[in-house]
Amino acid sequence: MVRIDKKWELRLYVAGKTPKSVTALSNLKKYCEEHLKGQYRIEIIDLLEKPQLAEGDQILAIPTLVRKVPEPIRKIIGDLSNEEKVLVGLNIRPA
């Protein structure tokens, strides 16, 4: 059920420590630990510190989770409160 043959590279864009960002990060960590243990890497980018990075990944909404690897790039916006949607969105669990 869980594919473990790939390395997961995730990037979470936030803007400061807003409640939404904090929620999103804790949710993400929870899901990854559950489903991708040991195969993932989460990079957190604070756009308040590095605004120039927003353009590269076409970031509009905050928080945005970007799946860089595996391809293709997928984006999930919001506080990631819906586990089902996140897992489908990241293609961890087939829809």
Partner 1 sequence: MSKSQKQKEPVQYGTLPKALTGITGLDEITGGGLPYGRPSLICGEAGSGKTLMSIEFIVRGAVQYNEAGVFVAFEEKSDELAMNVASLGFDLKKLQAEKKIRIDHVHIDRSEIEETGEYDLEGLFIRLGYAIDSIGAKRVVLDTLENLFSGLNNQAVLRTELRRLFSWLKQKGVTAIITGERGEGSLTRQGLEEYVSDCVILLDNRVVNQITTRRLRVIKYRGSVHGTNEYPFLIDEDGISVLPVTSLKMANKVSTERISTGVPALDDMLGGKGLYRGGSVLVSGTAGTGKTSLAASFANEVCNRKEKCVYFAMEESPNQIIRNIRSIGIDLQKHVDSGLLYFNASRPNLYGLEMHLVAMHKCIKKYRPSVVVIDPITNFINIGSVSEVKNMLVRMIDFLQEEQISVMFTALSLNTIINEQTDEGVSSLVDAWILVRDIEFNGERNRGLYVMKSRGMKHSNQVREFIITGKGLQLVDVYLGPEGILTGSAREQQMLLEQTGEAIRSNAVTRKDREIVRKRKVLEAKIASLHTEFESVEEELNKVYLEEELKKEILRKNREEVIRIRKGETEENVQKPKTSRKK
- Using CB under 8 A as the criterion, which residues of the chain lie in contact with partner 1 when the complex forms? 13, 15, 18, 20, 23-24, 47-48, 51-52, 54-55, 58-64, 72-82, 85-86, 88-89
Identify which of residues 10 and 24 has a Cβ nearer to partner 1 in the complex. 24
Instruction: Copy the structure tokens of residue 19.
Output: 């409640």
Identify which of residues 38 and 95 has a Cβ nearer to partner 1 in the complex. 95
Give buried/exposed letters for 46-79 (b at 16+ CB in 10 A, else e).
ebeeeeeebeeeebeebbbbbbeeeeeeebbbbb
Identify which of residues 34 and 38 has a Cβ nearer to partner 1 in the complex. 34
